[in-house]
Structure 1
């Protein structure tokens, strides 16, 4: 697998005598699970062979997916310690090692971690660099560590939390991972949809709605009252509406009242919004209020799906789009000039720095600024890469066209799904809103805790589970 980095990309470009070409043959597939990971294997029972566990493994950072045995009162993990680390044997083949200073820093007793605010109270910088536990013991509730401090201090770390946070090696249980479903044009057979009544009735309807978006990158909402007021209330079920130069909750038609081609009758190719912002909006909601003409079909394209194909067919192009930043601008209004910070912009494909999974697509060729920062050795390769990207975006296999009608709203994940439209005539009124990615992910995380994970105890008013200090989100 190629490493992403400007040096590697430039070196590869300089070594090629001619630019690579991309086959126009696009594989047809309905859905694919991304980031599937390795299959779990059945774990053996634990034994006391712990001496070798404290040795450093060459593959310590490798992510392991193991079916770990359950923690039973008569079959607890084996624990051992030395002057630097504590080792935990989950079974004969799977061990976790935690540095002493890491464990002390992550104590979550009420003195070290505020049970209400969920903020660290322990002074990390007062922990001795060479701290070593006086005693470690396996309890049914978790790992108990006795620390050599002036006042007696005992930390207790739940076993499941230690498995989730294990870093040497990573053994994250797969049960917590939610797969994203990649899709092409065949999604039209059964697009994700919820009803307005479901969303407005209770939080479970919102959870179902946002789960659709998390999984597929978009979701329709049917039976929406055809008014701006009802649509705005729908958006507010997720979180705060984000105000931009276009307003807060906006209505637009083809009157060029704003300096953007969205306010024309022109066709718009697949793109994401706000590439000129440092922090593009997370979600975008559209609701067609009326249209007395023809055309204006809505286009949706799963950017993650297209990226997965590009990575298979042309890994060099994928690397270029993952490394070369693209500057962008919004300059159609005399009173505004938006550019991202830093002004050099961001790559088309952004990856999670921890997992290396694709995390964001940002692409709008119309808003792209001058590419004056390109190294001369990669100019032709870069144009070939975006041409390959555009060819896949506009392939019939990738395009999902739908003619929106009044009463059906659509919400898209602007970090994943690109949207566009066909040209139209007549008057077409559309309303909608932006919602920040943090508001969206926070709302989904809270509802996931409530409906899927079922963690914690009831709050004092009995309304919802109280968040544990050992929540995997913390």
Structure 2
């Protein structure tokens, strides 16, 4: 696994420094004790903790640490002994062998793109239905790029549902399950009109916000109506590079978002650029139609308006905007925490534009990807 490794304890034994290939990682003794991968600490079947971590002494220390092949032999001051695989420590540490560390702007596994570098994963609906490897390839592409294009979806109103059920349950909202996206009289939402839509993320007024958007094209013969996509992570990255003060402002100020109709009242809030606990971009929000910023002090609002404008100019720029027109039987699956999507205005004189849309949550999608990855890897090892 490694070319060189060294384990060193602090004077009080409460910290262990693991130096692998000249890249040090520090671990607290308490953390190592509560995460000890043995049957006394973790249930072998569920992986859930058997000991009460809050009852461990706060001055718990390591009395001995010794490297043994690909494991670390540890002895704690409470008498517990364990062999900790180095691979588990590397996976758990913030800085791994792939060069990613806590200072990275996005989590490992993502590829940021602009209009020139967008290379979406293309997947066959039939293959993803019948073949776990094809389904995993689709989900890996979705995780990596933030969107995939699926072809060969049955030209039926709920044609996407069979594939959706291979990933996770349909997220139902006040609009039902899979809903129409087409122009209607007396529209209750601007998506149901012929106007163009600015880049946006869906439903920031919900808690939780839907994780993935599934958009299936039944017919797209109207003049115009092309979809637009922009990588919100890339836009945030460029904003930090070009205007750090604007980036900081959009991570601090949390506007509200609201949706109301005769039967529904939804409100939530959050920054346009949300960071995780390692300072990496976790989620972007943008919904001009539903945003309602509070009456903050005038100077703070001035900073926010300027920062929002700078971000808007990026997500609407030719530099970042990918244009595509879905054909009947094609479907977009989009990461609603990352992708900003919109559309050009369209004219019904040229024909009908009818799409269907549904949501699948983030946790079930991630779970399906990780379980499939593990299952297929196990099959390859057994072959």
Match of 2:114 in 1: 184
Pick aligned residue for 2:133 from 188, 200, 204? 204
Which moves more between the two structures, 292-301 or 198-207? 292-301
Contact 1:69 1:90 in 2 (8 A): no
**C-alpha distance in structure 2 between counterparts of 1:243 and 1:161, whole Å:** 37
Q: CA deviation at 1:208?
A: 0.8
Match of 1:137 in 2: 66
- Report the CA distance shift for 1:131/1:241 in structure 2 as closer, same or farther (over 3 A): same
Match of 2:86 in 1: 159
How many pairs were matched up? 374
Match of 2:280 in 1: 357
**C-alpha distance in structure 1 between counterparts of 2:345 and 2:233, whole Å:** 26
Question: Which secondary structure does the structure 1 equivalent of 2:223 belong to?
Answer: coil
Question: Which secondary structure does the structure 2 equivalent of 1:193 belong to?
Answer: strand
- Report the CA distance shift for 1:90/1:287 in structure 2 as closer, same or farther (over 3 A): same
- Report the CA distance shift for 1:133/1:267 in structure 2 as closer, same or farther (over 3 A): closer
Match of 2:270 in 1: 346
Question: Which secondary structure does the structure 1 equivalent of 2:240 belong to?
Answer: helix
Question: Which secondary structure does the structure 1 equivalent of 2:39 belong to?
Answer: coil
Match of 1:43 in 2: none
Match of 2:178 in 1: 249
- Report the CA distance shift for 1:233/1:222 in structure 2 as closer, same or farther (over 3 A): same
* Root mean square deviation, CA, Å: 2.7
TM-score (norm 2): 0.88
- Report the CA distance shift for 1:228/1:380 in structure 2 as closer, same or farther (over 3 A): same
Match of 1:289 in 2: 218
Match of 1:336 in 2: 264
1:435 to 2:368 alignment:
no
Contact 2:218 2:355 in 1 (8 A): yes
**C-alpha distance in structure 2 between counterparts of 1:90 and 1:348, whole Å:** 38
Question: Which secondary structure does the structure 1 equivalent of 2:159 belong to?
Answer: helix
Match of 1:51 in 2: none
Match of 2:334 in 1: 412
Q: Which whole-Å deviations, capped at 9, do the CAs of 1:210-236 have from their partners, x for residues lacking one?
A: 111111111100122211233111222
Gaps of 5+ in 2: 101-106
Q: CA deviation at 1:440?
A: 1.4
TM-score (norm 1): 0.72
**C-alpha distance in structure 2 between counterparts of 1:185 and 1:387, whole Å:** 20
Contact 2:17 2:26 in 1 (8 A): yes
1:421 to 2:343 alignment:
yes
Question: Which secondary structure does the structure 2 equivalent of 1:212 belong to?
Answer: helix
Q: Which whole-Å deviations, capped at 9, do the CAs of 1:186-225 have from their partners, x for residues lacking one?
A: 257x542111122111211111111111111111001222
Q: Which whole-Å deviations, capped at 9, do the CAs of 1:37-67 have from their partners, x for residues lacking one?
A: xxxxxxxxxxxxxxxxxxxxxxxxxxxxxxx
Gaps of 5+ in 1: 1-67, 463-474
Contact 1:250 1:432 in 2 (8 A): yes
Structure showing greater Rg: 1
Question: Which secondary structure does the structure 2 equivalent of 1:381 belong to?
Answer: helix
Match of 2:291 in 1: 368
